[in-house]
Chains A and B, each alone.
Chain A
Amino acid sequence: DQQVKQNSPSLSVQEGRISILNCDYTNSMFDYFLWYKKYPAEGPTFLISISSIKDKNEDGRFTVFLNKSAKHLSLHIVPSQPGDSAVYFCAASARSYGGSQGNLIFGKGTKLSVKP
């Protein structure tokens, strides 16, 4: 039973356009959400996070939106660049409920391809 779901295994976007990656979760106790990016033959790298007390967090070209009522979050990349081509993982934790913040529940990832 997947608690964090990324329903799109892949996404292809033209350079300069917006990339929108989606993530759904089922556990109401999740209160901290993160996005990680992974290139081939490398470990995941932290990209951006959001606490459940917010609905938006922005860092440069990357913005994460959280809709708690829908249990949905999305990552927007604007403008998309070829170097953004990677696998993006959504992750969640329940830190307020005694969960360790490093005990992350990951989705299966979405492979983003940005075409020049």
Chain B
Amino acid sequence: QKEVEQNSGPLSVPEGAIASLNCTYSDRGSQSFFWYRQYSGKSPELIMFIYSNGDKEDGRFTAQLNKASQYVSLLIRDSQPSDSATYLCAVPPLRSGGSNYKLTFGKGTLLTVNP
């Protein structure tokens, strides 16, 4: 059974700090990874995508992937109160056969950034 695990939190950081969100996955062959942000009562919104080992940076966000250890993380630098949301890690099927829409989501980590 393929699984994606996240610490449900809540994770609380002060404004301006670095928030670190972690996700582990069970399927060693997984190739790509998505990070979604979901504000309370709103739709999940894709914020980062990574498929290569190492770091990928986009503004204040950095995704880190370590396939050997089977974890992917999201770092948010200079955290702002507006970053307060639930962050979801999602993984497409290993052998999609055209079924990439069957994303496996973690339960999400609730992040609170305190002013």
A and B co-occur in one complex: no
User: Measuring CB to CB, which residues of chain B are less than 8 angstroms from any residue of chain A?
Assistant: none
